[in-house]
Amino acid sequence: MTEDIEFSIVVPCYNEADGIAAFWARLQDVMATTGSRWEAIFVNDGSGDETLTRLNALSTEAAHIRIVDFSRNFGKEAAITAGLDNVRGKACIVIDADLQHPPETILLMIKLWRDGAEVVLGKRKTRDTDSALRKWFSSRFYDLAARLFEVPIPKDVGDFRLMDRKVVEALKQVRENQRFMKGLFAWVGFRTQVVEFEVAEREFGTSSFNLWRLMNFAVDGITSFTTAPLRLWFYVGSTISLCALLYGLYIVVTAIAFGNSVAGYPSLAALLSFIGGVQLIGIGVLGEYIGRIYKEAKYRPIYIVRDIIDK
């Protein structure tokens, strides 16, 4: 009976064929010690390798595996959303399949949940597995988020977490198309505890998150949870206008006192180029927000499911 399921494990998968078997073996060992009925929901996010084939093979061996197969790649945020939409347990754990999130940490999460926590966050102890550039970029993003976002985003906390069913139901009400799950997780609130874990080296495959994608991810977060960039450009524009007014007064006074001269064209050209560049940046920021409005207004589904395999 589905009402007897206590834990739902949501696992977004994209080209994870090589590591699925190792992940599943460790997850089973951990969950067997809980003494509870559980299910695993694997979301195949349009993988181009043998991920779906390997998942189908696992599902023939274990009755508590469900597979949500996307029609194409919709991204990790959509995959997590699809997993949450299909959970049946009293609590849900979101975890990556690459074993950088140690399944053994789930036991401590469950203990805190049973003690009353509604959300248990997995926080990485260090960023030793990241490059120096990625460490710097992540640190600057969290610093910026702490100052600008409408809700605080916990530092060094990713998608690895346990959520009570009431938290999942709250998240299911949020159907915006441009999704920044870290922000949405924080936005719904609820009583929260934190557990720390060591991030393991990735044993199988390579991460699909390069620096370019991480920068776009950061832009999504900023434009999803703050209008500060728009407000910033109001102040920038006001400051430049004031400077231009003062400069204009200076020119008038100089012309009256000393007469008009033809000198100053290089500085004038530089000033016009600077102002033009600032205007283009401001238009770009405004365009980013308008683009988000455009995408939301079309009200396309967050994801499309080709098949749900539930054996």
Indicate whether 83 and 201 sit together in one domain.
Answer: yes
Indicate whether 46 and 195 sit together in one domain.
Answer: yes
Indicate whether 52 and 142 sit together in one domain.
Answer: yes
The CA distance from 241 to 234, in Å, is 11
What is the predicted pLDDT for the residue at 83?
A: 93
Helical segments of the chain, H only: 20-32, 51-61, 76-85, 105-114, 132-148, 165-172, 181-188, 211-225, 228-258, 265-298
**Domains in the chain: how many in total?**
2
What is the predicted pLDDT for the residue at 180?
A: 80
- Note the pTM of the prediction, 2 decimals: 0.74
Indicate whether 172 and 283 sit together in one domain.
Answer: no
What is the predicted pLDDT for the residue at 259?
A: 61
The CA distance from 193 to 122, in Å, is 9
Three-state SS for 231? helix
Indicate whether 86 and 103 sit together in one domain.
Answer: yes
> In which domain, by residue range, is 266 found?
228-298
List the end-to-end C-alpha distance of the chain, in Å, as a whole number. Answer: 14
pLDDT in tens, the chain (311 residues): 556 889 999 999 998 888 898 899 899 999 999 888 999 999 999 888 888 889 988 877 777 889 999 999 988 889 999 999 999 999 999 999 888 888 999 999 999 999 999 999 988 887 666 667 667 667 777 676 667 677 777 777 888 999 999 999 999 998 888 788 888 888 888 888 988 888 777 666 565 555 666 666 666 666 666 666 666 766 777 677 677 667 667 766 766 666 655 556 556 655 676 677 677 777 777 777 777 777 777 788 888 998 888 86
What is the predicted pLDDT for the residue at 217?
A: 61
Indicate whether 19 and 152 sit together in one domain.
Answer: yes
Name the phi and psi angles at 153, rounded to 5.
Answer: -100, 115
What is the predicted pLDDT for the residue at 252?
A: 65
Indicate whether 255 and 181 sit together in one domain.
Answer: no
What is the predicted pLDDT for the residue at 131?
A: 66
What is the predicted pLDDT for the residue at 178?
A: 78
Using only C-alpha atoms, what is the Rg of the chain?
Answer: 25
User: Does 277 map to a domain?
Assistant: yes
User: Does 30 map to a domain?
Assistant: yes
Indicate whether 21 and 117 sit together in one domain.
Answer: yes
What is the predicted pLDDT for the residue at 44?
A: 93
What is the predicted pLDDT for the residue at 104?
A: 92
The closest of 68, 61, 21, 19 to 41, measured between CA atoms, is 68
* Residue 267: alpha-carbon gap to chain centroid: 44
User: Does 103 map to a domain?
Assistant: yes
Q: What is the CATH number of the domain that holds 77?
A: 3.90.550.10
Cα–Cα distances (Å) from 207 to 130, 156, 203, in that order, read 11, 17, 11
